[in-house]
Amino acid sequence: MDLVELLKQAQTETIIKAILSDPRQKTYAYTKTIVWRIDDEESYYQFEAFTQEQAFHTNVKQEELIEQMAQLASHYKQIQIITLENEWALRISKKGKVHVTKRQNSDVPKARKHNVEKAYILKEGQPVDFLIHLGIMEASGRVKKKWYDKFRQINRYLEFIEDSLNDLGTDSPTIIDFGCGKSYLTFALYYYLVEMKKINATIIGLDLKESVIHNLNILRQELGYKQLDFRVGDIAMFEYDASIDMVISLHACNLATDYALEKAVKWNAKVIMAVPCCHKEIYQQMQIKPMEGILQYGLLKERMAALMTDGLRGEILKSYGYEVQIMEFIDMEHTPKNIMIRAYKRHEKSRLSKSYLDTCRDYHLQPTLERLLWPD
């Protein structure tokens, strides 16, 4: 019996959990993959793929399970399958022959619920006013299924905020959220700091769209969020005459991220969080003879330019005394704009690094952020 037929037979007993392990090649990215049955309004399966450092999640419909497992099995030597009735052990040879052992199950694991694998800051089942108003959560506290990815993103964002609280150095921080858009995360920030942590925070959201800002101000008044304010404005032109403790810029397009970082540095902000997008400037400038063959492919050049842009931004922030981290904001399956630049003010201004200057020279680059902060 081939692998697909064996998987189909196991599924007739209802697969609750499967573990694919022992990769065929050491270079394969995922050391193991765990498949969980998820029981929600509509049951499905979650594939949890592990690298040495991270776990990535993908949801698969019941009718797609066998096909997806069979494809994945080509990368592993063994599969353990637990059904409602039996425990299956499959060993796959180099030639694809499957050796099977099966024994009756004495302890059947329960199917997961779709949210139990993560202890969130905002917990499902506990009503949160702004999530209810924004249509993400029902009045009972239950997260609507189609909004669950957004709920996860909000909680991931709050984890970053939680990690940075000690670096604010004040119980009354002023925070600016540049390019706040629909402000799911701005409301989450306010709720977490003011309502949950009882921190006397003042939060300002800035965006270009007047109609969006108008509606956001109506909502924050309805919620009674007195220390939250939304304003219409351009990041490059925005001025604020008091101290700013944290600057946030999520998905500000192209050079808008540079202007947000410039403001943060000049305000001497203690914490900076930026998730850039639309890296057009370096893409248009980047050129180097030995790499002409590679850079002829627009997609590869675009990705390389994006990574280089954020790396250079990090180096510029370091020159102003910031400790810089570049990390994944949220799983790639949810958004390709997933790189966060997080920076903490640690030292005094120094100088641009040799590696930064060499890179700009070799690739013929003139980054806007350098022009804004190092005009000479």
Distance of alpha carbon 106 from its chain centroid, rounded?
39
Q: What is the pLDDT of residue 298?
A: 82
Residue ranges in the chain whose pLDDT is less than 70: 1, 41, 106-118, 330-337
Question: What's the pLDDT score for residue 251?
Answer: 86
pLDDT confidence of residue 287 = 82
List pLDDT tens digits, range 203-255. 999 999 999 999 999 999 999 999 999 999 999 999 998 899 999 999 888 89
Per-residue pLDDT at 334: 43
Contacts of 124 (CB under 8 A, 6+ apart): 115, 137, 141, 142, 143, 151
pTM assigned to the model: 0.68
pLDDT at residue 103, as a whole number:
87
* Helix (H), strand (E), coil (C) string for 48-87: EEECCCCEEEEEEEHHHHHHHHHHHHCCEEEEEEEECCEE
Characterize 97-134 residue by residue with b for buried, 16 or more Cβ atoms within 10 angstroms of its Cβ, and e for exposed: ebeeebeebeeeeebbebbeeeebbbebeeebebbeeb
45-66 burial, b if ≥16 CB within 10 A, otherwise e?
A: bbbbbeeeeeeeeeebeeeebb
Q: What is the pLDDT of residue 1?
A: 67
Give pLDDT, residue 133. Answer: 94
Q: Are 86 and 105 in contact (CB under 8 A)?
A: yes
Would you identify the CATH topology of the domain 159-373? Rossmann fold (3.40.50)
What are the extents of the domains in the chain? Answer: 3-104, 159-373
For the stretch 182-203, pLDDT in tens is 999 999 999 999 999 999 999 9
